[in-house]
Amino acid sequence: MIFLEGSGKEFAGPPLSLEQLDADPLRQFFTWYQEAARTEAGDPTAIALATSSREGRMRSRMVLLKAIDERGFLFFTNYRSRKGKDLEENPQAAFCCFWPVSLRQVCVRGAVEKVSTEESNAYFQSRPVLSRLSAWASPQSEPIPAERAFLENRLREMQERFAGKEVPLPPFWGGYRLVPDEIEFWQGRSNRLHDRFLYARIGDGQWKRTRLAP
Ligand SMILES: Cc1cc2nc3c(=O)[nH]c(=O)nc-3n(C[C@H](O)[C@H](O)[C@H](O)COP(=O)(O)O)c2cc1C
């Protein structure tokens, strides 16, 4: 066994108490996100998203959170990707994000639904044209030839196909909304005595908040 060296830094963040937390966890998430957007060097919207097959075989990967609304968290991807297939078989997911400057972690789980085509289209059309063409060009998560030229040729083909036209939303691409039933806010504190608060949904717009041991 080889022991791995971390930074060894103390997680000496500020206290987090129940009184500081918003009654609505989505609003609380947004407050922490805004602070992270000001202070973090990395992308504050990067989350590790876990999905699982029908048999409970799990996978995780990074995606970007692109929006939140009053119901949940939105991310966008290829519906035929491995995560898309998992979500078709088992429309449940979890994600966590870590903001190292503020020493904060948020962990979320819940049911996942596709967003409307209008919502997917609105986001898709806001992307740079080459990102839109790449969505068409890449059969995400499928095995492809080893040479990168395959992808570059696919992109060129799509540039020709849509030359002089709006690049439309691919029918296999769009957003998912994770509707949370649990959200945990974790604030790193000294001596590993971190502050953790779990919101568990107990009814429509109603959340039970509980402190968890670190
Ligand atoms: C920081 C980061 C952000 C990413 N954001 C996305 C994203 O928003 N949507 C997406 O489909 N893939 C995104 N990816 C790529 C995914 O991690 C993954 O490779 C891809 O979605 C295929 O995953 P799957 O085979 O599990 O479906 C991102 C990767 C990184 C490292």
Q: How confident is the model at residue 10 (pLDDT cuts 50, 70, 90)?
A: confident
Measured in Å, residue 164 CA sits from the centre of ligand 1 at 29
Average pLDDT for residues 39-64, to the nearest whole number?
A: 98
pLDDT-based confidence at 8, cuts 50/70/90?
confident
CB of 80 closer than 6 A to ligand 1?
Answer: no
Q: Is the pLDDT of residue 7 over 90?
A: no
- Joined together, the tokens standing for residue 186 give 């974790």
CA atoms of 156 and 162, how far apart (whole Å): 10
The total number of residues shown for the chain amounts to 214
**Which residues have a Cβ under 8 Å from the Cβ of 138 and sit 6 or more positions away?**
78, 151, 154
How many A from CA of 127 to the centre of ligand 1?
16
Give the tens place of pLDDT for each residue, 160-171: 999 999 999 999
Does the Cβ of 60 fall within 6 Å of ligand 1?
no
Q: What secondary structure, in 3-state letters, does 86-150 show? A: HHHHCCEEEEEEEECCCCEEEEEEEEEEECCHHHHHHHHHHCCHHHHHHHHHCCCCCCCCCCCHH
Give the mean pLDDT of 117-136. 98
Ligand 1 mean position to 63 CA, how many Å? 5
Average pLDDT over residues 52-80: 97
pLDDT at 207 over 90: yes
Tell which residue, 36, 65, 72, has the closest CA to residue 49: 65
| Model ipTM value | 0.99
- To the query of whether residue 156 is one of the catalytic residues in this protein, the response is no
Tell whether residue 109 is among the known ligand binding residues: no
Question: What is the 46 CA–ligand 1 centroid distance (Å)?
Answer: 10
Residue 211 confidence (pLDDT)? 98
Structural domains of the chain, with CATH: 18-127+170-212 (2.30.110.10)
Identify the pLDDT of residue 62: 98
Please tell me if the CB atom of residue 85 comes closer than 6 angstroms to any atom of ligand 1: no
Strands 206-212, 195-203: pairing kind? antiparallel
- Choice from 40, 58, 59, 61 to test ligand 1 binding pocket (greatest atom count within 8 A of CB): 61
Of ligand 1's listed atoms, the one at least distance from the Cα of 81 is 27
Examine the pLDDT at 61 and tell me if it is beyond 90. yes
Residue 51 to residue 74: CA distance in whole angstroms: 15
Percent of the chain, pLDDT > 90?
Answer: 96
Active-site position among 57, 127, 177, 192: 192
